[in-house]
Amino acid sequence: MNVIEAIRTRRSIGKVTQEPVAKEMIEQILEAGTWAPNHRLTEPWQFFVMSGEGRNKLGQALAAIATSQAGEDADAAVLETKAADAMSKARRSPVVIGVAVVPVERRDVIELEEYGAVFAAIQNMLLTVNELGLGAVWRTGEPCFHPLMNEAFGLRPQDKMLGFIYLGVPDMTPTQGKRSAAASKTTWIEA
C-alpha cells in the first residue's frame, strides 16, 4: 500500500474482534509513531500498551473519573453503574494504546510543537494500522485529559494523555470516506 492509498483508505474502525494482535504488529505500530516529525528532536511521546488484564488500568481510571463526576449526591447504585459502564470501555478491543505528550521543559522548545509531534505520531500509528490490515479508532474526550488519568498513568501535571488507540481485527466494514476538496480550504499567495 502506498502512502496516498493508506491516507485515503484509513478509517476509524470502532468495532473489532477480541482476537489477539501479534506483539510484532504492535511493535511496528509503535515504531511508526516514533518516526513522526518533531522540532528539536525531543521525541515527546509516551506509549502505554494495554492488553488482557492490563486494560484494567484504563478501566479503573475511567471508573474513578466517572464516579468523581457523578457528584456527592449520587447514591451507591448510581456510582456502581457508572463505574461498571466506564470499566467496560477499556475492553472494547483486545489492545489499547494510550498515547501521551510529555513536553520537554527547555526555553528553546515550544510546548504546542510538542503536542503537534505527538498528534503526528498518532497519525503515523493509524496509517500503519491500516497498512497492516488491522482496525483502530482513536478515542479522546474529557476523561482523557482529567487529572485522575494523569495520576493513573504516572504522568506529571504538565503531561497529557492525548488519546487511546483501540486496536484489533476489524469486525465491521469501513464506511466510504468523504472530504472537502483541498481547493475549498486553500488560499494561494503568489508573487
Cell numbers for 75: 447514591
Look at the block and give the residue holding cell 498515547. 99
pLDDT at 112 over 80: yes
pLDDT at 52: 98
- Secondary structure of 116-143 as H, E, C letters: HHHHHHHHHHHHHHHHCCCEEEEECCHH
Does residue 39 have a known ligand-binding role?
yes
For 6-48, write each residue's pLDDT tens digit. Answer: 999 999 999 999 999 999 999 999 999 999 999 999 999 999 9
- Secondary structure of 134-185 as H, E, C letters: CEEEEECCHHHHCHHHHHHCCCCCCCEEEEEEEEECECCCCCCCCCCCHHHH
Mean pLDDT of 103-122: 97
Does residue 138 have a known ligand-binding role?
yes
When the pLDDT of each residue in the chain is averaged and rounded to a whole number, the result is 96
For the chain, give the percent of residues with pLDDT over 90: 92
Q: Which domains does the chain have, with CATH numbers?
A: 3-52+92-172 (3.40.109.10)
For 55-79, write each residue's pLDDT tens digit. Answer: 999 999 999 999 999 877 788 898 9
Does residue 140 have a known ligand-binding role?
yes
CB 50 within 8 A of CB 58: yes
Does residue 139 have a known ligand-binding role?
yes
DSSP bridge partners of 49: 97
pLDDT at 73: 78
pLDDT at 70: 85
Cα gap 85→3, rounded to integer Å: 38
CB 95 within 8 A of CB 16: no
CB 9 within 8 A of CB 177: yes
